[in-house]
Amino acid sequence: MNKLIQYIKDSKTELKKVVWPTKKQIINHTALVIGFSLALAVFLGIIDYALNKTLEIIL
């Protein structure tokens, strides 16, 4: 039980050392992830469409 209490205390101490991102950083990083995800989805959609059309021509 003593180890558990010490672990919790150490965890609290370490969490106080964390440099949390600002709201602006969170918004920017979130927008970057969403933008990258959309770009990747469009790219994969184009590849899928092209491969489907190629297979239709071949078959």
Q: What is the pLDDT of residue 53?
A: 97
In DSSP notation, 16-54 reads HH--PPPHHHHHHHHHHHHHHHHHHHHHHHHHHHHHHHH
pTM of the model: 0.68
* Alpha carbons 10 and 3: distance in angstroms, whole number: 10
Per-residue pLDDT of the chain (59 residues; tens, 9 = 90+): 899 999 999 999 999 999 999 999 999 999 999 999 999 999 999 999 999 999 999 98
Are 44 and 36 within 8 A, CB to CB?
no
Q: What is the pLDDT of residue 1?
A: 84
